[in-house]
Chain A
Amino acid sequence: MRQLFDRNTWQEIFQSISKNKLRTFLTMIGVFVGIYIYIGLSGASQGLDNGFERQFETIAKNSLFAWGQSTSMPYAGFKTGRQIQLKLSDVEVLYNRVPEIETIAPRNVKGIFGSSPGIITRGLKSGSYAVYGDFPDFAEIATKKIYEGGRFINKADIEQARKVCVIGERTQRELFDEEEDPIGGYIKIDNINFQVVGVHKFTPGGGFESDSDIFIPFATFRKLYNTGNNVSWFTIAAYDDADVIKVEEDIKAVLKNIHSVDPKDERAFGSFNLGEIFNKIMGFSQGMTFLSLIVGIATILAGVIGIGNILLISVKERTKELGVRRALGATPAEVRNQIIIESLFLTMLAGIIGIIAGAMTLKVIDTFTRGGDFPYTNPTVPIPYVIGSLLLMVILGVLIGLIPAQRAVSIKPIDALREE
């Protein structure tokens, strides 16, 4: 230990390292590549991880969608092929019978899945856009970014069936002038005047939504399009700790019960389980992280073994020098420690350079992929992983240094001196 903190030791080591530059360089390459690959891979998998997270950031991670289809089995006097229509009254029953549900947001829509979109006009400008009837709860499941000064549909809008709407960015561009503030302005949806209360920012994340969607209060939608208690689909969020697959099954069972559908009928209700897909993707990226850990450790190991190998050769090369040193009074412990510290120092130096190079590579990749659709965000390696890999290198560096060190002292000084 005393030797480790002695300035003289380091002078000796620096000298022997810097006087053998090529050897030092070759020695370090192995560990450098190892740690570089490790940092690069685990940073990339972290980037993918973050990318997927970002894709899902606009929607609750354990949410699912459920809608009615047509039955495929006769049941309770109904024949096959009956179209199932979800009702607003289903919501209460679902809340009561499936306690894992946190929020249900029923939605109605006009303009997708084959129905004709709403005709929107404002003065001389017009367009046809999808119109959604929404509850404020929807914003809790799928975050809608609303531009400054605007808001999403609120409770009072529903209670009073207000004629207000939230429009998309494209709708704003196409119906309003550039410098015009759309908030408070009026547009006509299928010939009824609506006041614009907000503009939502569209985040691409798959699905059928777009930057032109118009959201109006559910209560207003049912009056406007005469949909009564009909609901196009439910957007449901389960509590964080709930098992989304089980929740999905429970919801379907309850719906089958309400709508008098055969419990074995698999076709009557459709659903899309985002939570399940999210879990699968997260599982994949966890697998990537694990893989990069394994590959990284293996390459570091290979690199350290390379250092051991080259030090072994260098010890052989330096047999005579070590013999001279021992004739001049170097104790075996001093010779051994010097080689171990050399190994440790080379390992650490290569490792730190590798970490820096890896981090710079990640930074460059990040710069190139920024803003694209590719799910890759902020590729970073957690500090504990970096410290862990450095620690691993210290341990391996010392252990592998023991082999050449032991070899160096196992030769008697007299034999070492005799060697030509």
Chain B
Amino acid sequence: MGSNSLHVLKGINFSCESGELVAIMGSSGSGKSTLLNILGMLDEADSGEYTLDSVPIKNLTETKAAQYRNKFLGFVFQSFNLINYKSAMENVALPLYYQRVPRKERQEKAIEYLDRVGLKEWATHLPSELSGGQKQRVAIARAMAAEPKVLLADEPTGALDSKTSYEVMDLIQKINDEGNTILVVTHEPDIAEMCKRVIHLKDGVIVEDKKVEQVRAAQYVQ
């Protein structure tokens, strides 16, 4: 994009086990989104190594990166990024389309995942007919539908009020309970506390990396 280069990440070294729920925290400009984008193969690190499920991720062509993203990663964005002319079910089925899953199977699976986020009855609704929390739940269902190894969530609660934030976090915790690895970028301490491990970034370096006692979001949800 811009011609000015900025050194954002200045030496990050950490590894993440399968089944972890990690919060990456830091003030804006600390490099947390950049880190997530590199992990998500949307961006590339200038130097360093990244190994995902013992597959070295480097020098990827766009096509290869797309295939890895499709196979290994699920994305949840702050602004949901649902396709506005597709129904909830079609949105969830989209990653399966790129996996060449047959249509019938795709739809069944999409319904199944919508059911898991509690939006089965909303399957035929367009994103514009859903509330913010519902949109994010559809986005989570979409990210999960491809059965990725890692779920990457970039400020998943950033655009939600605290009540719906907790609902979404409750969902993320439940998914994590099933054994899925999840990385959550956030700058809200209460969200970070709901994870199992918190990594603090400041000016491109890790200043703190600690396991925390998980606060269950369910207690805030009626």
Contact = CB atoms under 8 A, between A and B. Distances in A.
B220 interface: no
Given A7-B103, A16-B85, A328 B70 contact: yes
Contacts of B66: 326, 329-332, 334
A19 B83 CA distance: 11
B37 interface: yes
Nearest to B126: A19
Interface of B: 1, 37, 40, 42-43, 62-63, 66-67, 69-71, 75, 77, 79, 81-86, 90, 94-95, 97-100, 103, 142, 146
Given A331-B62, A414-B42, 7 more contacts: A324-B83, A325-B83, A328-B146, A329-B69, A331-B98, A332-B66, A412-B43
B69 A332 contact: no
A157 B206 CA distance: 120
Contact of B42 (A8, A333, A417): A417
A415 B62 CA distance: 14
A329 to B, nearest CB: 2
A413 interface: yes
> In the complex, which of the residues A7, A320, A327 has the most CB atoms of chain B within 10 Å of its own CB atom?
A327
| Centre residue among B42, B63, B95, B142 by max chain A CB count within 10 A | B42
Interface in A300-347: 320-321, 323-334
B149 to A, nearest CB: 13
Nearest to A334: B98
A20 interface: yes
B45 to A, nearest CB: 13
Contacts of A327: 40, 42, 69, 75, 81
A324 B98 CA distance: 12
B105 to A, nearest CB: 12
A216 B75 CA distance: 98
A332 B61 CA distance: 10
B12 to A, nearest CB: 18
A96 interface: no
B77 A329 contact: no
Nearest to B82: A324
Contacts of B99: 329
A362 interface: no
Contacts of B42: 327, 412-414, 417
Contacts of B43: 412, 414
Nearest to B38: A414
Interface string A388-420: 000000000000000000000100111101001
Contacts, number: 72
- The A interface is mostly helix, strand or loop, or mixed, namely helix
Contact of A333 (B63, B103, B142, B146): B63
A328 B95 contact: yes
Given A20-B85, A329-B71, A11 B63 contact: no
A331 B99 CA distance: 11
A12 interface: yes
A420 B77 CA distance: 13
A330 B98 contact: yes
Contacts of B100: 8
Contacts of A324: 81-83
Contact of A329 (B82, B86, B146): B146
Given A8-B103, A417-B81, A328 B86 contact: no
A15 interface: yes
B62 A332 contact: yes
A321 B67 contact: no
22 contacts: A8-B103, A15-B90, A16-B85, A320-B81, A321-B84, A324-B81, A324-B83, A325-B98, A326-B66, A328-B98, A328-B142, A329-B67, A329-B95, A329-B98, A329-B99, A331-B62, A331-B63, A331-B66, A409-B62, A417-B42, A417-B77, A417-B81
A7 B106 CA distance: 14
Contact of B75 (A16, A328, A332): A328
A122 to B, nearest CB: 84
A330 B83 CA distance: 14
A7 B101 CA distance: 12
Contacts of B77: 417
A186 B162 CA distance: 114
Contacts of B86: 15, 19
A328 B84 CA distance: 15
B59 to A, nearest CB: 16
Contacts of B83: 321, 324-325
Interface string A5-18: 00110011001100
Given A7-B103, A8-B97, A15-B86, A331 B81 contact: no
A319 to B, nearest CB: 12
